[in-house]
Amino acid sequence: MKIFAFIILVFVFLPGNKSQSNINDAIHHAFDVILRDLMRNGNPETGFPVLAPTIIPTLDVSWSIGHLVDLDGQLRNFRIDGLDGFRINDVRLSLLTMRFVFDFIWPNVRFTGWYNLNGRFGGLVPIFGQGNFVLEPRNFRASGFAQIRFLGSNNNLNVTDMDVRLNLPSLQMNVQGILGGGDLGAVINKVAQDLVPSLIRTFENELSDLMSNLLIPRINPFLNNLTLDDIINRAP
């Protein structure tokens, strides 16, 4: 969640002429070079963790995605590779509307680990199993906007609205032990590979609302220390 605050800081403390083109060039550079390096190396001074790869020894899971999926359990030796391999289609901040627009593609991301999960799909179909897993989404895309406003007597920066659109053209997966494994598990893996991209398209609006409700409360605490005066005082 610190990524969005990081971009606002780039805007506030950009030296020199803050023209629209300079702002957007700085934002593009911040993602393409600075953020990519942070993901690979982290920054202990700011607490920014290494994300490429992301390694989490143990992760307790309690997920509820609308009325679509409910899952509880645990992941172990959870690892994500390829987050730093994103391509930038679009990143820009309009100074007139204070709307931040983004469009990214991750060509190759790989999730691996061990799971022990129980839950339901669609509120009816049971989901259970444990074992090793490999998930490989291909050309995963996240695009949308974040609307930034000045709120309160001190004109603190806040994200007041966000729209996130997700698209997944294809998914390769091998989840061992799902529904007991064996032939049934193989069928579930094959069906899920085709079903998940379709579900993301079908529930596009619900997923957007979910992402907005998840991200906004986590972004704003990082922005609340920035005000309109910060920006004005830094202007040339």
List pLDDT tens digits, range 71-100: 999 999 999 999 999 999 999 988 788 899
Whether 65 shows a pLDDT value over 90: the answer reads no
Domain total of the chain: 1
Whether 236 shows a pLDDT value over 50: the answer reads no
Q: Is the pTM of this model over 0.75?
A: yes
What is the DSSP pairing of strand 87-94 with strand 54-65?
A: unpaired
List pLDDT tens digits, range 125-166: 888 999 999 999 999 999 999 998 877 766 678 889 999 999
Would you state the pLDDT for residue 18? 56
Burial 144-183 (b: 16+ CB within 10 A, else e): bbbebebeeeebbbbbeebebbbebeebebbbbbbeebee
Give yes or no for a contact between 127 and 118, defined as CB atoms under 8 angstroms apart: yes
List pLDDT tens digits, range 183-202: 999 999 999 999 999 989 98
Please report, as a single letter, which amino acid is at residue 37.
D
Length of the chain: 236
Would you state the pLDDT for residue 232? 46
Give yes or no for a contact between 117 and 73, defined as CB atoms under 8 angstroms apart: yes
Domain range for 100: 2-234
Give yes or no for a contact between 118 and 70, defined as CB atoms under 8 angstroms apart: no
Tell me which of 19 and 121 has the higher pLDDT. Answer: 121
Instruction: Supply 68's token pair.
Output: 């679509």
CATH code, domain carrying 166: 3.15.10.30
d(CA 186, CA 107): 25
d(CA 106, CA 85): 6
Whether 15 shows a pLDDT value over 70: the answer reads no
Listed in order, strand segments (DSSP E) in the chain are 54-65, 69-81, 87-94, 99-108, 110-121, 125-151, 156-167, 170-175
